[in-house]
Chains A and B, each alone.
Chain A
């Protein structure tokens, strides 16, 4: 029985797609991620409190799970594994700016909350009531082999029947998330979860 990609989504600063289909997002004064949130009619005010890294992960998971009738049923068998290169450096720097000067030393609790990258996995887990394994890995560079290897290990746990796996990066001008819902399956009609599939689907997302 192999691993297959059941559904996938891609978002950067200008495009969004799910299963390769572009998501229409009206152009306006709002930032792209906020415009996407409104375009999908998501009702989750906590979104506005998130840092960009969590917004990316959250929205990618919304695109994966929207329309799923059982999405808010608590599930123990879905793991969440995220990867990136810059950890939570963007929020780390924003928080550091609030404690840089002795006379203006006002550490921000709401920024501090996001000074760990794995908060994005928690945001997704809380929203979707996913109680399986969660982990966040920081790599030197995008490495589809690492994703395939780690997801394979997650499935070694008999409790895991699906893995939400994402490359989610937010630092300076580099913002993107590529997320896949991976499951066990043995039909030949599904997209195999492999290095080749990951590279092909990621490039398809980037090209809009």
Chain B
């Protein structure tokens, strides 16, 4: 799980161009949107693409993202339980 969390942080930094952020600076349980990393709606769509492209998880309902993208740990847990890649 720790490895998955670290990989996920690296992937998010790359795909969202968070050039000023290092993986260790992202707290596992910190909110990704609003406070925390301060991501926006386009970032949310990009995370949905990341889930499908890297882990074969297709979110048919974008509203699912609201729950899934609460934190890195929530994302990683969902990926661990549902990944197809």
Report the Cα distance A110→B42, complex, angstroms.
6
State the majority secondary structure of interface residues on A.
helix
Chain A residues with CB under 8 Å of B15's CB are 110
Chain A residues with CB under 8 Å of B19's CB are 34, 48
- Does A45 count as interface, using CB distance less than 8 angstroms? yes
Partner of A49, one of B16, B45, B49: B16
Query: What mask results when residues 42 to 61 of chain B are scored 1 for a CB within 8 Å of chain A, else 0?
Result: 11011001001100000000
Query: What mask results when residues 8 to 44 of chain B are scored 1 for a CB within 8 Å of chain A, else 0?
Result: 0000000111111000000000000000001000110
Chain A residues with CB under 8 Å of B53's CB are 106
- Which bracket fits the contact residues of A? 10 to 19
Chain B residues with CB under 8 Å of A110's CB are 15-17, 42-43, 45-46
A106 and B52 form a contact (CB under 8 A): yes
Partner of A108, one of B18, B38, B46: B46
A107 and B49 form a contact (CB under 8 A): yes
Chain A residues with CB under 8 Å of B42's CB are 49, 109-110, 113
B45 and A109 form a contact (CB under 8 A): yes
A109 and B17 form a contact (CB under 8 A): no
Question: Measured between C-beta atoms, what is the minimum distance from B51 to chain A in Å?
Answer: 10
> Quick one: closest A residue to B21, CB to CB?
A45
Query: What mask results when residues 96 to 130 of chain A are scored 1 for a CB within 8 Å of chain B, else 0?
Result: 00000000001111100100000000000000000
Write the residues of chain A forming the contact surface with B, with a CB cutoff of 8 angstroms. 34, 45, 48-49, 106-110, 113
Taking A48-B18, A110-B17, A110-B45 as known contacts, 11 extra A-B pairs with beta carbons closer than 8 A to each other, sorted by chain A number, are A34-B19, A48-B19, A49-B42, A106-B49, A106-B52, A107-B49, A109-B42, A109-B46, A109-B49, A110-B16, A110-B46
